[in-house]
Amino acid sequence: MSSTSHQQFSWHDWNQWHLGVLPLLLLFGALVLYMFAAQRAVGWSSRRTTAFIAGLIVTFLATQSVIGTFDMEYFSDHMIQHLLLIMVAAPLFALSAPLDLAYEAGSSRLRQVLDGRVMTTITQPLFGFAAYFIFIPLTHLTGLFNLMMEHEWVHHFEQIGFLVVGYLFFRVVFGLERGTKIHRGLRLVFVMAAVPVDTFTGLALVMSSHTPFPAYRAMAPVGSTSTSILNNIHLGGAIMWIGGDALMLLACIPVAIAWVKWETVHTRELDAILDAQGI
């Protein structure tokens, strides 16, 4: 009897949804715009469309499922949401190449904007790296996190920030879109250089001797103690540290494979040229 009750309680906990009108409208609007643009762009890759839809699904699960239900009560849950947005959904959006789609399907004025100085600066590799390097500790180790806990609209902007910053970072890693690109070998270095950011932020939270976010005392579930809140913050820091590093290292695998394939093809082409010249 107790086992059955426990199973029902567990399912009740997991089967909760945090459905918000504005987030759902934004997700649906993004899907409509992308699909409309994909229809206008002749020969647009179905793989990129699939990646975009997958990114929307991950974003929906991260913000509207049970994860979104408890992200303001448990720091560990918030960190899971953060990793899903910036290290799963954002790379999928990068693989969908939305700026290239906008360039192909958009008007001449839109192309001028995309070719303009502002967008050229934003899509620079160093800008994407700097944005990631600053955004992660800024949103987890400063008063901005406490402000997010107190104001829902700040929380929503934070979620959008995870997606935008993650997209700008991983578009450089994958190098699919037009614009400034870095060498395939340097892309591996680019990813590895960002790993210490998650490690530092996670360890700073794990080693915290007090609750760094006072708003959690008000948002935590009824009956929570200062010790339990601090322990959950330590758990969230461990998720950021271990989970973030693991996802970054996982991202290195396709980057390394693509680099090896490119080097193999390039070497064969160079050998063919040298053979033709008799060298």
Q: Average pLDDT of each block of 10 consecutive residues along the chain (279 residues)?
A: 42 68 92 96 94 97 90 90 96 96 94 94 95 94 88 90 96 92 89 92 92 83 86 93 92 85 74 66
Do 67 and 143 contact (CB within 8 A), yes or no? Answer: no
Is residue 247 assigned to a domain?
yes
Asked if 85 and 159 count as a contact pair (C-beta separation under 8 A), the reply is: yes
pLDDT at 269: 66
Q: Domain total for the chain? A: 1
**Measuring CA to CA, how many Å separate 187 from each of 110, 171, 178, 231?**
29, 10, 16, 36
User: Is residue 11 in a domain?
Assistant: no
Torsion of CA 123, 136, 133, 188, to 10 degrees: -80
Residue with tokens 């082409």: 269
Which residues have C-beta within 8 Å of that of residue 197, sequence separation ≥ 6? 132, 133, 136, 137
Given this model, what pLDDT does residue 102 score? 95
Q: Give me the pLDDT at residue 224, please.
A: 83
Q: What is the pLDDT of residue 259?
A: 83
Instruction: Say what the pLDDT of residue 163 is.
Output: 97
* Residue 71 DSSP code: T
Kindly state whether residue 29 falls inside one of the protein's structural domains.
yes
Distance CA 25, CA 44 (A): 25
Distance CA 203, CA 213 (A): 16
Distance CA 87, CA 162 (A): 9
Helix (H, G, I), strand (E, B) or coil at 128: helix
Distance (Å, whole) CA 51 – CA 54: 5
Domain membership flag for residue 3: no
Give the amino acid at 273: I
Residue 69 domain flag: yes
Calculate the CA 26 to chain-centre distance: 17
Largest CA distance in the chain: 83
In a domain, 276, yes or no: no
pTM of the shown model: 0.88
What's the pLDDT at 132?
96
Instruction: Kindly provide the b/e burial profile for residues 43-81, where b requires at least 16 CB atoms within 10 angstroms of the residue's own CB.
Output: ebbeebbebbebbbebbbbbbbbebbbbbbbbbbbbbbb
Residue 96 in domain: yes
Among 37, 164, 176, 32, which residue's Cα sits nearest to residue 107? 37
Measure Cα distances from 108 to 34, 42, 103, 111, 241 in Å. 18, 16, 9, 5, 44
- Decide if 220 is inside a domain: yes
Provide the domain limits for residue 134.
Answer: 21-260
